[in-house]
């Protein structure tokens, strides 16, 4: 599934500030919830079939999204999982010079 990244907004239809129930309803399917760190207030959700991790802050709203295959996270038509890490750092650093 393609996810067009909008900085500070979200990726595709996933928007920062959504509740876990909203994210789960939107992405559907099977997911695993777990805490990556003991101090986490809310567990993250992993949608393995989509390659999406959803992370929630202490208020219980979406604060970060992580992608792995088979997800296709895109920024300005570039598949971020298909570019070499050093090239990605250079590309994003150049975009951040404003």
The DSSP annotation for 26-50 comes to HH-S--EEE-SSTT-SS-EEEETTT
How many structural domains does the chain have? 1
The token pair at 54 is 């959803």
pLDDT, tens digit, 9 for 90 and up, residues 37-82: 888 899 999 999 999 999 999 999 999 999 999 999 999 989 999 9
Whole-structure pTM over 0.75, yes or no? yes
Predicted confidence band of residue 94 (pLDDT cuts 50, 70, 90):
confident
Average pLDDT, the chain: 94
The token pair at 2 is 């393609």
Report strand pairing: 32-34 vs 14-15: unpaired
Q: How confident is the model at residue 98, as a pLDDT?
A: 60
The domain in which residue 64 lies consists of 2-95
Position with higher pLDDT, 48 vs 92:
48
The token pair at 93 is 């650093």
């Amino acid at each position: 599934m393609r996810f067009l990244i909008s900085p500070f907004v979200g990726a595709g239809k996933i928007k920062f500030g959504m509740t876990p129930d909203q994210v789960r309803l939107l992405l559907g399917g099977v997911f695993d919830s777990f805490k990556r760190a003991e101090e986490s207030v809310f567990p993250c959700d992993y949608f393995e079939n989509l390659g999406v991790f959803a992370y929630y802050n202490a208020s219980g709203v979406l604060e970060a999204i992580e992608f792995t295959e088979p997800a296709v996270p895109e920024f300005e038509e570039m598949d971020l999982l298909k570019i070499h890490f050093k090239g990605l750092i250079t590309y994003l650093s150049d975009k951040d010079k404003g």
